[in-house]
C-alpha cells in the first residue's frame, strides 16, 4: 500500500475526529463525500486545513478542493503534483 | 409580521460608500464600489483581499464616550435616524419610550481580539477590553446616547440580523410594546470574520460579482443602518415626515445546513411569500428586488431559483448592491432597506455592480447600471447562515 | 379595553441544570483567565437526536440547547410533535462564546495559520437555533435574541407574538448560556462575582458578596392552549427607568408586575407563587427584597421562592425560572427544586406563578404562567 495513501487515511481520521472509523476502513478509491465516507462541506474545509498543515499546500479555491478530495487516491495525486521539491516546514 | 403598515420617518447609514443617505445614493449613481484595501488591522493571510471599510473615525461622530467600533457605527446611524425623524421633539416621557432593536453578529469583537492578542502574545490581562463584547452592547450604546428606556432588544441571526431586527421592531409596534422604534443593524470588520470567511474559501479575491457567471465569492464590509419606525397613527398625530412604508416582513428557516442554503431556494421563497402575504400584495406588484446576492456560488444560485419560483417568468428589476457596501453581515438587511427607500424616493434602480455576464444557470438578469424605473414597491432579501431568511416589503410614501 | 391575553399552552418543558456544587472550570487557554468558581456541567448532556459525530462538532451552547429542546419535546409527547411549520426561538445572553474563543485563540496562537472553519461556522449566535431547526425539521421562522439578562424573556415574548399572529402553530423556545472563562474574567473585573465556591444563597440572610456564574438551558414547547395545560400568558422585559438597581421604587415595580398580569386579565391577589431571579448580588438582592416586601404586605398568602441556587447567574437563566414555574402550575404545587423564602408546603395550590427578575445590569422582567 502506497505510504502516502496510508498516511492520508490516518490524517483524515485524526483531522475529522472520526471515532467510528479506523484508517483501514477508508477505501482509497471510494468517494469521500456524499456516498462512501459521507463527509460534508464542513469536513471538506477541515481537510483543506489538514492539507496545509501536514503537506504545506494551500488550497484557496473550493473547486480545486472538490477535485482533490474526490477520493484518498485523488488527494494523494494532488499532493504529489503540488508539493514543493524541497518541502520547507512553516 | 406587520398587520398594519409601518411608517419610516428617519434614516441613518454609515458605510464604505458614504455616511448619509445622500452620500450613499451619490455613490450608487456614480456606480462607485466601496471595496478597497484592508487597513483596519494587519492580516498576513487575508490582507490582500478587498474589503469595504468605513472611512473616517466613527468614534468622532457617535457621541459615545466609549465603546467598540460597532457601538460607534450603530450610534452614528441611530442618531441620524432619530434626528431626521425629529423624535427629540416628543414630550420627554414619550421620547424616552422610543424602542431600540438592533442586530449584530460580532458586536465588539475587535476589542475582544485585542484582549486575546495581549493575553496570549504578551501574557497581560486587560479585562476592560471585554466590556463591549456582549452582543447587547450596540443597542445599549444607542439607548444610552439617546436616553431611551423603552422596548429594547438585540437579535443575532447571522447575515439576516438587520432584516430580523426590522421585523421584530414591526412586531413590537403591532403588539403595542412601543409607538416608535429605532431598528437596524451594525457590524464592524474584524479579524474573526476576515479570517473566518476566508477559511470557508468563499471570499472573492477580485471583489464580489453577484449573480455573475464567473463569481467566486463574497466581499466583507462593515457599517450600520438604522430606521426610525412608527405606527402610522403615531407618525401622523405628530406630523412626522413619512419617508416610506414597511408593508410586511416575512421570515423562514431552511432547516437544512449550518451554512449552505437549500439548493432549491425554497427557504428564501417562503420568506418572500410570507412578506408579500402580510403586505397583501401579489408578486407582480413588486417593482424592484434588492437581493441578498453575496456573490457566492451557492447563495446566488439558490436565491435566483427562489426569485423565479416566486415571480415566475416575470421577475422584476433585481440587483444586489453588495459590491458597493461589501457584505456588512448584520448591517446588510438594514443598509439594503435604506437602499430600497432611496430607490423608491428617486425612482431609480441601483446597479448590480460587478456584473459582467449574468449566470445562465441562475436564469435572472440583474440590472447592470443604475437606471430609471417606476418603483412603487420594493422587496429586500437577507439570507443568513443557519438558514435564517428575512424579507421586507417597502412602499413609496405617496 | 384590550382583550385579555390567553397566551400559549406550555405543552412540555425541559431543563438542563449544571452540577449542584460550584467548582472551577477544567482549563483555559491561559492561566491568567479566571476559571470560577461557577456552576457548570462537568459532563455535557447526551443528545439523542443527532449522530455522535454531529454532536462532537458542537461545543457547549449547542449541546445544552439541544438537550433542553429534546427534553421539552419528550415531555410534550408524540401527539404534540410540531410539524414543519413550527418556529424556533432562542434566547442567549452571550451566545456561542466557546466557538468564538476556539476560533480566535487558534488564530492568535498560530498567527492565522491553520484556521478552524467548523468553529467559525458554529460561532454565529443563531447556530443553536439553526441546529434545532435542522434536528426537528422546523421551517417556520428562526429567531435568536442576544440581549444579556433579558434574552430569554425576549425570546418567550416573541414566541407568544408568533403564535398570537398565527404565523406558526408551535414554537420551540429555548434559553441557553454556557460557562466561559472569558465571561467569568469579565464578571470578576466588573466586581459582581464572588470568589468563594460556597453555594449561592439568593436573598439569603448573610451577605453573599456577589453572584456565581453558571450555565444551563431550558426548553419550552409552546402551542395552542388546552385544558389542564399550563399557559404562558405574558413575557415582558424592559430596561429599568434608571439603570441603578438600588434606585428602583418598590411601588413602581409592583405596578410593573401588576400591569403585566393585567394584560392576561389576572389580578395580583391571584398569584400563588412569586419566583424571583435574585442571584446573590447584594444590590439587586436588596432591591428585590424591598419589592417583595411591598407585594407581600398586601398579599401575604403568596409563596415566594428563588431558583438561581440551582444554576448560577447567566443571561438566559429566566428560561429555567419559567420552566420551573410551568412545572409548579402543572403539578399544582411549588416545584421541589425551588427554594422557598415564604410559603412553601403551607402555601395554597399553585395555579398562577409570576417569574420576576430585577437585574443589576439595569433590566426588569415579568413572565406569567397560569393554569
A42 vs C52, C115, C117: nearest CB: C117
Neighbours of B347 (CB within 10 A): 13
* Residues contacting B293, CB < 8 A, separation 6+: B210, B211, B299, B300, B303, B319, B320, B321, B322, B352, B366
Neighbours of C78 (CB within 10 A): 7
pLDDT 10s digits, B371-386: 999 999 999 999 998 8
Whole-prediction pTM: 0.97
Question: Cα–Cα distance between C246 and C207 in angstroms, integer?
Answer: 16
Question: Cα–Cα distance between C209 and C204 in angstroms, integer?
Answer: 11
Residue with cell 444563597: C201
Per-residue pLDDT at A40: 87
Give A-chain residues touching C57 at CB under 8 angstroms: 42
B159 assigned to active site: yes
Cα-Cα end-to-end distance for chain C: 23
What is the β-pairing status of strands B317-319 and B288-290? parallel
Q: Which residue of C has its CA nearest to A49?
A: C114
> Using the beta-carbon criterion (under 8 Å), do B192 and C120 form an inter-chain contact?
yes
- The Cα of A1 is separated from the nearest Cα of chain B by a number of Å equal to 32
pLDDT 10s digits, C238-273: 999 999 999 999 999 999 999 999 999 999 999 999
> Using the beta-carbon criterion (under 8 Å), do A41 and B202 form an inter-chain contact?
no
Residues 333-392, chain B: which have Cβ within 8 Å of C? 384-388
Q: CB-hemisphere CA count at 13 Å for B300?
A: 33
Q: Where are the extended beta strands (E) located within chain C?
A: 8-16, 87-91, 142-145, 171-177, 216-223, 231-239, 273-276, 303-306, 339-342, 352-359, 363-370
Lookup: cell for C114: 491553520
Q: Which residue of B has its CA nearest to A61?
A: B201
- The Cα of A85 is separated from the nearest Cα of chain B by a number of Å equal to 23
* Residues contacting B365, CB < 8 A, separation 6+: B315, B318, B358
Give C-chain residues touching A18 at CB under 8 angstroms: 53
Give C-chain residues touching B192 at CB under 8 angstroms: 100, 103-104, 107, 120, 123
- The Cα of B252 is separated from the nearest Cα of chain C by a number of Å equal to 4
B199 vs C115, C144, C158: nearest CB: C115
Residue B175 pLDDT exceeds 50: yes
Closest by CA position to B329, among listed B379, B368, B386: B386
Per-residue pLDDT at B1: 43
**Of B19, B159, B208, B249, which one is the catalytic site residue?**
B159
Cβ–Cβ < 8 Å for C231, C163: no
**Which one of C50, C51, C52, C53 makes the best mutation probe of the A interface by having the most chain A beta carbons within 10 Å?**
C53
Cβ–Cβ < 8 Å for A37, A26: yes
Report the percentage of chain B scoring pLDDT > 70. 99
pLDDT 10s digits, B78-102: 999 999 999 999 999 999 999 999 9
Lookup: cell for C126: 443563531
Cβ–Cβ < 8 Å for C235, B148: no
Cβ–Cβ < 8 Å for B41, B69: no
B44 vs C112, C138, C146: nearest CB: C112
The low-confidence residues of chain C, meaning pLDDT below 70, are: 1, 205-208, 344-347
Q: Which residue of C has its CA nearest to B114?
A: C108
Per-residue pLDDT at A89: 47
Give A-chain residues touching B200 at CB under 8 angstroms: 45
B127 vs C30, C115, C185: nearest CB: C185
Neighbours of B365 (CB within 10 A): 14
Residues 112-151, chain B: which have Cβ within 8 Å of C? 112-113, 116-117, 119-121, 123-125, 127-128, 130-131, 133-136, 139, 143, 149-151
Residue with cell 436564469: B363
Per-residue pLDDT at A85: 66
Domains of chain A: 3-82 (1.10.1200.10)
CA angle, B280 as apex, B275 and B282 as ends, to 5°?
Answer: 85
**Considering all CA atoms of chain B, what is the largest pairwise distance in Å, rounded to the nearest integer?**
61
The length of chain A in residues reads: 90
Cβ–Cβ < 8 Å for C232, C317: no
* Residues contacting B69, CB < 8 A, separation 6+: B58, B59, B108, B110, B111, B188, B222
What is the β-pairing status of strands C171-177 and B371-372? unpaired
Question: Cα–Cα distance between B251 and C87 in angstroms, integer?
Answer: 10
Q: CB-hemisphere CA count at 13 Å for B228?
A: 24
- The Cα of C137 is separated from the nearest Cα of chain A by a number of Å equal to 19
Give A-chain residues touching B297 at CB under 8 angstroms: 62
B327 assigned to active site: yes
B155 vs C113, C124, C143: nearest CB: C143
Q: Which residue of A has its CA nearest to B298?
A: A62
A18-21 own/partner pairs: CB under 8 Å, 24+ apart: A18/C53, A19/C52, A19/C53, A19/C56, A20/C52, A20/C53
Average pLDDT score over residue span A42-52? 94
CA angle, B30 as apex, B24 and B32 as ends, to 5°?
Answer: 75
What is the β-pairing status of strands C363-370 and C352-359? antiparallel
B22: phi then psi, degrees, rounded to nearest 5: -65, -45
C101: phi then psi, degrees, rounded to nearest 5: -65, -45
Residues 19-58, chain C: which have Cβ within 8 Å of B? 29-30, 32-33
Question: Cα–Cα distance between C209 and B34 in angstroms, integer?
Answer: 52
Give C-chain residues touching B152 at CB under 8 angstroms: 147, 238-239
pLDDT 10s digits, B335-367: 999 999 999 999 999 999 999 999 999 999 999
Question: Cα–Cα distance between C357 and C360 in angstroms, integer?
Answer: 10
Q: Is C57's Cβ below 8 Å from some Cβ in A?
A: yes
Cα-Cα end-to-end distance for chain B: 23
* Residues contacting B51, CB < 8 A, separation 6+: B35, B36, B37, B38, B189, B194, B219, B220, B221, B222, B326
Q: Which residue of C has its CA nearest to A90?
A: C113
CA angle, A26 as apex, A24 and A31 as ends, to 5°?
Answer: 165
Lookup: cell for B165: 431586527
Q: Is C111's Cβ below 8 Å from some Cβ in A?
A: no
Neighbours of C109 (CB within 10 A): 14
Residue with cell 444560485: B301
Closest by CA position to B78, among listed B34, B14, B22: B14
Report the percentage of chain A scoring pLDDT > 90. 60
Cβ–Cβ < 8 Å for B362, B254: no
> Using the beta-carbon criterion (under 8 Å), do B156 and C126 form an inter-chain contact?
yes
Give C-chain residues touching A14 at CB under 8 angstroms: none
Radius of gyration of chain A (CA): 12
Cis peptide before C37 (omega within 30 of 0): yes
Radius of gyration of chain C (CA): 20
Q: Which residue of C has its CA nearest to B163?
A: C143
Lookup: cell for B342: 432611496
ipTM score for this prediction: 0.98
C17: phi then psi, degrees, rounded to nearest 5: -100, 150
Question: Cα–Cα distance between B321 and B336 in angstroms, integer?
Answer: 8
Point out the least confidently predicted range of A60-69, B45-54, B287-296, C229-238: A60-69
> Using the beta-carbon criterion (under 8 Å), do A20 and C53 form an inter-chain contact?
yes
Per-residue pLDDT at C272: 96
Give B-chain residues touching C142 at CB under 8 angstroms: 157, 251-253, 255, 386-388
Q: Is B346 helix (H, G, I), strand (E, B) or coil?
A: helix
- CB pairs below 8 Å between A and C: how many? 26
Per-residue pLDDT at A90: 44
Lookup: cell for C23: 467548582
What is the β-pairing status of strands B180-187 and B99-103? parallel
Going C312 to C317 to C320 to C324, the CA torsion angle's sign is positive
Domains of chain B: 6-237 (3.40.47.10), 247-396 (3.40.47.10)
Point out the least confidently predicted range of A16-25, A53-62, B107-116, C144-153: A16-25
Q: Is B48's Cβ below 8 Å from some Cβ in C?
A: no
* Rounded (10°) CA dihedral B123, B127, B128, B130: 110
> Using the beta-carbon criterion (under 8 Å), do C114 and A53 form an inter-chain contact?
yes
Report the percentage of chain B scoring pLDDT > 90. 97
Q: Is B216's Cβ below 8 Å from some Cβ in A?
A: yes
- The Cα of C117 is separated from the nearest Cα of chain B by a number of Å equal to 5
Residues 220-259, chain C: which have Cβ within 8 Å of B? 236, 238-241
Chain C contact partners (≥3 CB pairs within 8 A): A, B
Per-residue pLDDT at C207: 56
Q: Which residues of C183-197 are buried (b: 16+ CB within 10 A; e: fewer)?
A: bbbbbbbeebbbeee
Q: Is C224's Cβ below 8 Å from some Cβ in A?
A: no
Point out the least confidently predicted range of A41-50, B239-248, C198-207, C257-266: C198-207
Domains of chain C: 8-223 (3.40.47.10), 231-370 (3.40.47.10)
Helix (H) or strand (E) holding B335: helix B332-346
Q: Is B202's Cβ below 8 Å from some Cβ in A?
A: yes
Lookup: cell for B138: 450596540
User: What is residue B221's DSSP assignment?
Assistant: B
Amino acid at each position: 500500500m502506497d505510504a502516502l495513501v496510508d498516511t492520508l487515511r490516518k490524517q483524515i481520521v485524526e483531522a475529522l475526529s472520526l471515532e467510528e472509523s479506523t484508517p483501514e476502513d477508508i477505501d482509497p478509491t471510494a468517494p469521500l463525500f456524499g456516498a462512501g465516507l459521507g463527509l460534508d462541506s464542513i469536513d471538506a474545509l477541515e481537510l483543506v486545513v489538514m492539507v496545509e498543515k501536514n503537506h504545506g499546500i494551500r488550497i484557496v479555491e473550493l473547486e480545486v478542493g472538490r477535485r482533490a478530495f474526490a477520493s484518498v487516491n485523488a488527494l494523494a495525486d494532488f499532493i504529489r503534483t503540488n508539493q514543493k521539491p524541497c518541502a520547507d516546514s512553516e | 409580521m406587520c398587520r398594519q403598515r409601518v411608517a419610516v420617518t428617519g434614516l441613518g447609514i454609515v458605510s464604505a460608500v458614504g455616511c448619509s443617505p445622500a452620500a450613499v445614493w451619490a455613490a450608487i449613481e456614480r456606480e462607485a464600489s466601496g471595496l478597497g484595501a484592508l487597513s483596519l488591522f494587519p492580516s498576513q493571510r487575508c490582507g490582500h483581499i478587498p474589503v469595504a471599510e468605513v472611512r473616517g473615525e466613527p468614534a468622532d461622530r457617535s457621541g459615545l464616550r466609549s465603546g467598540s467600533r460597532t457601538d460607534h457605527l450603530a450610534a452614528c446611524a441611530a442618531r441620524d435616524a432619530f434626528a431626521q425623524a425629529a423624535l427629540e421633539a416628543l414630550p420627554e416621557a414619550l421620547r424616552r419610550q422610543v424602542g431600540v432593536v438592533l442586530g449584530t453578529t460580532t458586536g465588539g469583537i475587535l476589542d475582544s481580539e485585542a484582549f486575546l492578542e495581549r493575553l496570549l502574545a504578551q501574557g497581560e490581562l486587560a479585562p476592560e477590553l471585554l466590556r463591549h463584547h456582549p452582543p447587547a452592547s450596540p443597542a445599549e450604546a444607542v439607548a444610552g446616547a439617546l436616553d431611551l428606556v423603552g422596548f429594547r432588544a438585540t437579535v443575532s441571526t447571522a447575515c439576516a440580523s438587520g432584516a430580523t431586527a426590522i421585523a421584530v421592531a414591526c412586531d413590537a409596534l403591532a403588539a403595542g410594546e412601543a409607538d416608535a422604534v429605532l431598528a437596524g443593524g451594525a457590524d464592524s470588520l474584524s479579524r474573526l470574520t476576515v479570517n473566518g470567511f476566508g477559511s470557508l474559501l468563499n471570499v472573492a479575491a477580485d471583489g464580489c460579482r453577484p449573480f455573475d457567471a464567473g463569481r467566486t465569492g463574497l466581499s466583507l464590509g462593515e457599517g450600520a443602518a438604522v430606521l426610525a419606525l412608527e405606527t402610522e397613527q403615531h407618525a401622523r398625530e405628530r406630523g412626522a415626515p413619512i419617508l416610506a412604508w414597511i408593508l410586511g416582513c416575512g421570515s423562514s428557516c431552511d432547516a437544512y445546513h449550518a451554512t449552505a442554503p437549500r439548493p432549491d431556494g425554497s427557504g428564501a421563497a417562503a420568506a418572500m411569500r410570507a412578506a408579500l402575504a402580510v403586505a397583501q400584495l401579489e408578486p407582480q406588484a413588486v417593482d424592484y428586488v434588492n437581493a441578498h446576492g453575496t456573490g457566492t456560488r451557492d447563495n446566488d444560485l439558490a436565491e435566483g431559483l427562489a426569485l423565479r419560483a416566486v415571480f415566475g417568468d416575470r421577475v422584476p428589476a433585481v440587483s444586489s448592491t453588495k459590491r458597493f457596501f461589501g457584505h456588512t453581515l448584520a448591517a446588510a438587511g438594514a443598509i439594503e432597506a435604506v437602499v430600497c427607500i432611496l430607490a423608491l424616493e428617486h425612482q431609480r434602480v441601483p446597479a448590480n455592480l460587478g456584473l459582467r455576464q449574468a449566470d445562465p444557470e441562475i436564469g435572472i438578469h440583474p440590472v447592470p447600471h443604475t437606471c430609471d424605473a417606476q418603483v412603487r414597491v420594493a422587496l429586500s432579501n437577507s439570507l443568513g447562515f443557519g438558514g435564517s431568511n428575512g424579507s421586507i416589503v417597502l412602499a413609496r410614501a405617496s | 379595553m384590550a382583550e385579555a391575553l390567553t397566551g400559549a399552552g406550555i405543552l412540555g418543558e425541559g431543563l438542563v441544570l449544571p452540577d449542584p456544587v460550584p467548582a472551577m472550570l477544567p482549563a483555559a487557554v491561559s492561566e491568567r483567565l479566571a476559571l470560577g468558581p461557577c456552576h457548570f456541567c462537568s459532563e455535557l448532556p447526551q443528545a439523542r437526536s443527532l449522530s455522535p459525530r454531529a454532536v462532537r462538532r458542537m461545543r457547549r451552547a449547542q449541546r445544552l440547547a439541544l438537550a433542553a429542546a429534546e427534553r421539552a419535546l419528550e415531555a410534550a409527547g408524540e401527539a404534540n410533535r410540531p410539524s414543519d411549520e413550527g418556529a424556533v426561538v432562542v434566547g442567549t445572553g452571550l451566545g456561542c462564546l466557546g466557538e468564538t474563543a476556539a476560533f480566535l485563540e487558534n488564530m492568535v496562537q498560530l498567527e492565522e495559520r491553520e484556521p478552524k472553519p467548523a468553529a467559525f461556522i458554529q460561532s454565529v449566535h443563531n447556530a443553536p437555533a439553526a441546529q434545532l431547526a435542522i434536528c426537528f425539521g422546523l421551517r417556520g421562522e428562526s429567531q435568536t435574541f442576544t440581549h444579556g439578562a433579558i434574552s430569554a424573556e425576549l425570546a418567550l415574548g416573541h414566541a407568544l407574538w408568533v403564535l398570537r399572529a398565527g404565523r406558526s402553530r408551535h414554537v420551540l423556545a429555548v434559553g441557553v448560556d454556557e460557562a466561559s472563562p472569558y465571561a467569568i474574567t469579565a464578571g470578576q473585573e466588573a466586581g459582581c462575582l464572588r470568589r468563594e465556591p460556597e453555594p449561592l444563597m439568593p436573598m439569603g440572610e448573610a451577605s453573599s458578596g456577589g453572584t456565581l456564574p453558571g450555565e444551563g438551558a431550558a426548553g419550552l414547547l409552546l402551542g395552542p392552549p388546552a385544558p389542564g395545560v399550563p399557559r404562558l400568558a405574558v413575557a415582558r422585559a424592559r430596561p429599568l427607568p434608571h439603570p441603578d438597581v438600588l434606585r428602583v421604587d418598590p411601588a413602581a415595580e409592583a405596578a410593573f408586575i401588576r400591569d403585566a398580569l393585567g394584560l392576561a386579565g389576572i389580578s395580583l391577589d391571584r398569584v400563588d407563587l412569586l419566583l424571583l431571579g435574585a442571584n446573590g448580588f447584594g444590590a439587586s438582592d436588596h432591591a428585590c427584597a424591598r419589592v417583595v416586601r411591598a407585594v407581600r404586605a398586601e398579599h401575604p398568602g403568596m409563596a415566594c421562592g428563588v431558583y438561581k441556587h440551582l444554576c448560577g447567574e447567566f443571561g438566559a437563566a429566566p428560561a429555567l425560572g419559567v420552566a420551573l414555574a410551568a412545572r409548579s402550575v402543572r403539578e399544582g404545587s411549588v416545584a421541589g427544586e425551588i427554594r422557598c423564602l415564604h410559603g412553601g408546603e403551607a402555601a395554597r395550590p399553585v395555579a398562577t406563578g409570576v417569574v420576576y427578575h430585577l437585574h443589576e445590569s439595569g433590566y426588569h422582567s415579568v413572565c406569567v404562567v397560569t393554569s
